[in-house]
Copies of this chain bind each other. A is one copy, B any other.
Amino acid sequence: MLAQNSNQPLFMKSYIFTHFTRQTLHFTLFTSVSLELLLFIKMEHFYSDYKIGMLGGGQLGRMLLQAAVDYNLEIHVLDPDSDAPCKNWGTSFTTGSLTDFDTVYQFGKEMDLITIEIENVNVDALKKLQKEGTKVYPQPEIIEMIQDKRLQKEFYIKNNIPTAPFVRTETKEDILKHLDLLPAVHKLGKEGYDGKGVQLINTKNDIAKGFDKPGLLEKKIDFAKELSVIVARNKDGQISAFPTVEMVFHPTHNLVEFLFSPAEISEELHKKAEKIARGVINDIGLVGILAVEMFLTTEGEILVNEIAPRPHNSGHQTIQANYTSQYEQHLRAILNMPLGATTQHCPAAMVNLLGEPGYVGSAIFEGLEEALNIEGVYPHLYGKKITKPFRKMGHVTILDKSIEGLKKKSDEVKNLIKIIA
């Protein structure tokens, strides 16, 4: 439409251009107002004051904001830490609790769409916002289910998703009733993360390490590898999966230390892992991105360990190594845009940059420059001023033509970079 008509209402604008230019949709549009409204809603993100609110302002949010620049998106961030990684990068940054009903509700009331980069948020506020017309992706009911590891496991069972055997527990004493499950892992139902809220119970003698809060006891799995598949689903139901990756955890701290993409597994196992991940997101009906962490058992079985309804540590390498990054994919999914191709350019590794034990204070990235001398090394620092033992301060993505080259470089990078104070 011409400039002199620009005082027409926005809806009319959309209507007219849809009519004149989307010829293939012409007839549909004249018979379906709802489809037309949908088109209008989808397009407005790029040129109007469509407001997206993000709960959490950590590194995952920071990389999401980076991706959002390319789509002209207005993203407002809420985080309890006034010095969080997102503080300088969103449209606005609000300091406040993510678990407090009023804080989340008041923040969300101003938004057209809410998303999360951490799942420990007040779900009741999100449900109320959703009821009042705000879009919330991932959906509050799904966040609520995932927040509780017991509900998560029960969901797997109900949907025939392969997972390790488990029982509910209320106290550590309950473990005594299930000695047949040992060796097992005792997990807090809620609020465990990054290895917290998880205890290995090898024998009766370890029961004292268990939790006296609602939790679950899960048979310890003898796994050959830990795998992860990141899947995305938009509102239209389109599903897309990234290649299966392989995570190597720190021997004592339950944190990903290295990641290799693609995983060194057979083509058959790649297909199986992807099929499981696609099944999970489809069964849940989630809109957004979902990380599906899995065990590959020593018997060649794949079991779902846990899921996270947000960009994930096991997808960082997609920024450099894949056509579409997990961050852009999440944005495409929650805005109901066509999902991007997940094709991988070349093998990639990811090394988490964790605070060195023994150091607390202003972070110094020792050895980073030497690491940059290695071809294909890309740092992503999270803007956290203070380092603490095992704090995630950044990560490094490594590209190489071969998995062998990657492994060599990953060890070099790991040995070169130390975050001290």
Give A residues with C-beta under 8 Å from B.
1-3, 6, 13-14, 17, 21-22, 39, 42-43, 46-47, 62-63, 65-66, 69-72, 88-89, 91, 320, 323-324, 328, 332, 337-338, 340-341, 343, 345-346, 358-370, 372-373, 375-376, 378-383, 385, 399, 418, 420-421
Stoichiometry, as copies per complex, reads 2
Q: How far is the CA of A338 from the CA of B416 in the complex (A)?
A: 15
- A66 to chain B minimum Cβ distance, whole angstroms, is 5
Residue in chain B with minimal CB distance to A367 = B21
- Residues of B close to A42: CB separation below 8 A: 369
Q: How far is the CA of A361 from the CA of B6 in the complex (A)?
A: 7
- A15 to chain B minimum Cβ distance, whole angstroms, is 12
For A70, A332, A340, A360, which residue has the most chain B Cβ atoms within 10 angstroms?
A: A70
- A60 to chain B minimum Cβ distance, whole angstroms, is 13
Provided the pairs A89-B89, A345-B345, A359-B3 are in contact, do residues A47 and B372 lie with their beta carbons within 8 angstroms?
Answer: no
A358 with B66: CB separation less than 8 A: no
Q: How far is the CA of A332 from the CA of B368 in the complex (A)?
A: 12
B3 with A358: CB separation less than 8 A: yes
- Residues of B close to A340: CB separation below 8 A: 372, 378
Given contacts A39-B369, A43-B368, A47-B362, 12 further A-B contacts (CB under 8 A): A1-B420, A1-B421, A3-B361, A43-B365, A47-B363, A69-B89, A71-B381, A324-B378, A337-B372, A338-B369, A340-B372, A340-B378
For A22, A88, A385, which residue has the most chain B Cβ atoms within 10 angstroms?
A: A88
B376 with A323: CB separation less than 8 A: yes
Q: How far is the CA of A14 from the CA of B323 in the complex (A)?
A: 39
- Residues of B close to A71: CB separation below 8 A: 379, 381
